[in-house]
């Protein structure tokens, strides 16, 4: 095992996540899923693997867990379909890949990585992204795989209305369903990845911040790696992930200072609710959010595991 620092942080969404809304059984399920996902990425890092492999491994674990709004647990759009987005970025050379409005893809984060490595492009969408996926034999699943009763019932509540839902757990509050991971490997390389099923009952091919490089995901070895979860429109307007990197690069702020300004000041001023996971080149981790909770977990440079759901 290397003596050089390495660490990882993940999230499974932010929003109105209250103890009163989760049964002890459900809370345990979420905690176990978060721990499994962060450990999947950490084991890659521990064996001197790359941060890129680590964030992909963690996000795949989250996408495969049906209670998170990404991959298998993706919400239904207005047509009763699943429309998924994902992105990934490598801080060493700023290479990145993203896909939007894809369906039947088991692990959208892996398709985003494939777009980065096997295409000449950064961002692929819709039918073209699906054509690319099929050409590269990406793992596909049937509609049944993506069906969960929870998501279906949520869609039934707002179907045929002009309402779209940001929440994907309790109807009493907002829940921004995105998953993501950031990591630092022993080679000093940072990476970030984000994946989402979007909004329940979303229309017009709506795209949030998750697949938008600089808004929902960003990684640069000189500064930090970021993966966001929140009200996508506001995170796009604020270019959240890149803004944190810029504050570090141009103002010389620490990761914590930059995160605090963006999450607790800039976003709050425009009613931008949500949070993010962040890591810098020394392995420092920040997990800020301005909502009532955020599903989150991390393993720091000392190997200490942290898993949490609620705010303080």
Question: What are 279's strand-pairing partners?
Answer: 225, 285
Other C-beta atoms lying within 10 Å of the C-beta of residue 151: 23
| E strand spans, the chain | 7-15, 84-90, 95-102, 123-125, 175-176, 178-184, 190-196, 217-219, 224-230, 274-280, 285-286, 293-299, 305-310
| SS3 letters across 92-149 | CCCEEEEEEEECCECCHHHHHHHHHHHCCCCEEEHHHHHHHHHHCCCCECCHHHHCCH
As a residue count, the chain comes to 312
Cβ–Cβ under 8 Å, residues 6 and 183 = yes
Cβ–Cβ under 8 Å, residues 15 and 52 = no
Cβ–Cβ under 8 Å, residues 11 and 179 = yes
Cβ–Cβ under 8 Å, residues 217 and 210 = yes
Give the Cα separation of 208 and 240 in Å (integer): 13
Give the Cα separation of 144 and 66 in Å (integer): 12
- Catalytic annotation on 200? no
Of these residues, 32, 161, 163, 178, which one is catalytic? 178
Give the Cα separation of 60 and 33 in Å (integer): 12
Active site residues: 178
């Amino acid at each position: 095992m290397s003596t050089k620092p390495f660490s990882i942080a993940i999230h499974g969404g932010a929003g109105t996540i209250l103890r009163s809304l989760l049964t002890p059984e459900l809370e345990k399920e979420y905690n176990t899923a978060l721990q499994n996902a962060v450990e999947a990425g950490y084991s890659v890092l521990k064996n001197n693997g790359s941060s890129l492999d680590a964030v992909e491994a963690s996000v795949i674990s989250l996408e495969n867990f049906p209670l998170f709004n990404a991959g298998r647990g993706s919400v239904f759009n207005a047509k009763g379909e699943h429309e998924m987005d994902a992105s990934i970025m490598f801080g060493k050379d700023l290479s990145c890949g993203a896909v939007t409005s894809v369906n039947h893809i088991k692990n959208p984060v892996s398709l985003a990585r494939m777009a980065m490595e096997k295409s000449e492009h950064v961002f692929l969408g819709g039918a073209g992204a699906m054509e690319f996926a099929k050409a590269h034999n990406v793992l596909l699943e049937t509609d049944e795989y993506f069906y969960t009763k929870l998501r279906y019932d949520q869609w039934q509540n707002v179907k045929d209305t002009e309402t779209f839902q940001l929440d994907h757990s309790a109807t009493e509050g907002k829940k921004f369903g995105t998953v993501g991971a950031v990591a630092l490997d022993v080679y000093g390389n940072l990476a970030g990845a984000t994946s989402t099923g979007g909004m329940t009952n979303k229309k017009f091919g709506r795209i949030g911040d998750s697949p938008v490089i600089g808004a929902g995901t960003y990684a640069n070895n000189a500064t930090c790696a970021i993966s966001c979860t929140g009200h996508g429109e506001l995170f796009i307007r604020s270019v959240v992930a890149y803004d944190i990197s810029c504050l570090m690069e141009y103002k010389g702020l620490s990761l914590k200072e930059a995160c605090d300004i963006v999450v607790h000041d800039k976003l709050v001023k425009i009613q931008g609710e949500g949070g993010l996971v962040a890591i810098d080149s020394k392995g420092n981790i920040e997990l800020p959010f301005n909502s009532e909770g955020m599903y989150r977990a991390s393993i720091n440079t000392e190997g200490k595991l942290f898993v949490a759901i609620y705010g303080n």
